[in-house]
């Protein structure tokens, strides 16, 4: 099976407290071969995000979608 990354929850802070920011590929239903369109949800602020800043050392939870057999 092939999975596509469609979301990342990032945690900034310590074990005692911090802040969560979500990054979502808003085009996860797109045709295979197109680039993801990542959006950053940070409280009331929503902005486009660069793929290079999505998953890193602050990644807390990764969300994947199973690719259809017809797309693999």
pLDDT of residue 52: 81
Tens digits of per-residue pLDDT, 31-66?
Answer: 556 677 899 999 999 999 888 878 788 899 999 999
Burial 1-14 (b: 16+ CB within 10 A, else e): eeeebbbbbbeeee
Rounded distance between C-alpha atoms, residue 14 and residue 29, angstroms: 34
Residue 29 has, within 13 A of its CA and on its CB side, a CA count of 0
Tell whether the model's pLDDT for residue 71 goes beyond 60: no
Average pLDDT over residues 21-40: 78
pLDDT of the residue at 50: 85
- 9 vs 30, residue with greater confidence: 9
* pLDDT tops 80 at residue 6: yes
């Amino acid at each position: 099976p092939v999975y596509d990354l469609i979301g990342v929850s990032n945690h900034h802070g310590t074990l005692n407290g911090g802040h969560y920011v979500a990054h979502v590929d808003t085009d996860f239903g797109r045709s295979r071969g197109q680039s993801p369109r990542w959006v950053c949800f940070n409280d009331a602020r929503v902005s486009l995000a660069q793929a290079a800043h999505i998953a890193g050392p602050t990644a807390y939870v990764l969300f994947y979608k199973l690719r259809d057999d017809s797309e693999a």
